[in-house]
Amino acid sequence: MKKILTGTIIDSKFPNKSTVVGENFELKIKGGIKGQVVEIKKAGHRKGKLINVLKSAPIETENNCEHLEVCGGCTYQRFSYENEIEYKRELLNKLYRDEGFDFDIEMVASPVYKDYRNKMEYTFSDEYKDGPLALGLHMKNRFYEVVNTTDCNIVSQDFNTIRAFTRDYFDGVLKPYHKMRHVGNLRHLLIRKSILGEILVNLVTTSEEFDYTTYFEELLKLELDGKIVGIIHTKNDALSDAIVPEVVEVYYGRDYLNEEVLGLKFKVGLYSFFQTNTKSAEVLYSLARDMLGNMGDKVLLDLYCGTGTITQIMGQGTKEALGIEIVEEAVEAARENAKLNGMTNIKFIADDVLNAVKDLEYVPDVIVLDPPREGINPKAIDKIIDFSPEKFLYISCNPVTQARDLKKFVERGYEIVQIKALDQFPRTSHVETVALLSKLDVDKHIDVEIKLDELDLTSAESKATYAQIKEYILEKFNLKVSTLYIAQIKRKCGIELREHYNKSKKDKQVIPQCTPEKEEAIMDALRHFKMI
């Protein structure tokens, strides 16, 4: 048995990592709050595993939840909300400073920090091996054990009522699905509730035969503040712990909610992505809209658009807007939502962003990015920046990957004009950040003396860079041209290029040829810069 060590957390990093120092050791752990005295087990040369908190941090002055000792759902239930905001702000500033950025982030509070979640995924398990049925959230640092979250304070009472009824109904009747032995029926309970009070209930089980009709009928008899508009039964035999919609049957009503955000109407499907804090989402989108300013007559491109919420909110009044999202169900919902709101200037494409941006003939003035937690695909980020819009608006649910990606934008000639954080997920370690990036004015920001003989360029090449040629063509002809096309036309005009410039290392590579329209534009640029 590994020895249990006692130490003090001397430092914490966003989102939820800490450094513990004790007698003759310093270890990194997941979880913990600066100032806590903790028990840990060594889990590697420099890593440990948090076992127990012996003494709370000085900032932990409250006790807001009966489940806080065991539930893994929240992190800051011992904080006052004011202290939570300040603590998160400090962690964020440290994160961005460590990545080389020098700015002080404004942390905006959520308008609600109780009863705010509009979606919960509960897991079935047992309270102990072969014990009573449990339905709730996973225990801290545990893979199997689940907490019966009888009075969770980040969801409305309707969630607690439906969860408790479901747990009591099946206790002693069916077994929870065991993730290692692959036996049992009950897997998950998913609940969604809109700001309008509409509720969806989705019971997730294995495909093993059982008549759930009585359970569904009794659900409809519950006294709730909201109203159940859909009861769905999902059958899932996948080995993973995720909800996989292999078979989806609507027992009652429909499989979507009606929702409203900033005066716009949205249909939110059972498995569609939608911000989990609707009231705070309105603050988030208002912040983003204010950052971008007047979008009249602008062309907008929204990448990772989900069900098109941002596309529509930001796309109001634009010349045109295009949203791209890989989940086809989300794109269908986005198209339907656009029709619902009478927006004829907005279109959507169902495709992976990495694939879609390769040959997309679109010239946006503004690009909005709201990628998943892993951030922008490293293979796609250069293609995205190549669109060279006036502005990027980068919305992120994971500042760690956002900070990584922002460095790439800065390297490519963009400056961070403004960045704000919103406490979109109160009581948890997560936040949402919004960064506005603007293209640098080359004349004002580049002040580097370079001797041309050090660059091995011909006099013709020295007159304009490829980037300047691209920008000239984009502004004058509203066309995007590649470096390869420019090189082809320069070679055609007898302008000497460096050896192997833009030549592929692959044998028998098929090289795309410049179109007549783009050739004419490039020729115009070469004449403009007096290169021919």
Active-site residue list: 397
Whole-number Cα distances in Å, 288 to 254, 323, 370, 389, 399: 32, 16, 11, 17, 16
**Opening angle at CA 136, ends 135 and 140, nearest 5:** 125
Instruction: Mention every residue, 6+ apart, whose C-beta is less than 8 A from residue 483.
Output: 466, 470, 502
Question: Tokens at residue 108, please?
Answer: 């905006």
Cα 214 from Cα 216, distance rounded (Å): 5
Beta bridge mates, 193: 199
DSSP assignment of 441-475, as one string?
-HHHH------GGGTT--HHHHT--HHHHHHHHHH
What is the DSSP code (8-state) at residue 155? Answer: B
Q: Note whether 479 and 469 are within 8 A (CB).
A: no
Establish whether 325 is an annotated binding residue.
yes
Establish whether 115 is an annotated binding residue.
no
H or E element in which residue 204 lies: strand 198-205
Q: What is the CB-side half-sphere exposure of residue 382 using CA atoms within 13 A?
A: 3
User: How long a stretch of residues is the chain?
Assistant: 532
What is the DSSP code (8-state) at residue 109? Answer: P
Label the pairing between strands 346-350 and 320-325. Answer: parallel
**Binding site per annotation, positions:** 275, 304, 325, 370
**Binding site per annotation, positions for S-adenosyl-L-methionine:** 275, 304, 325, 370
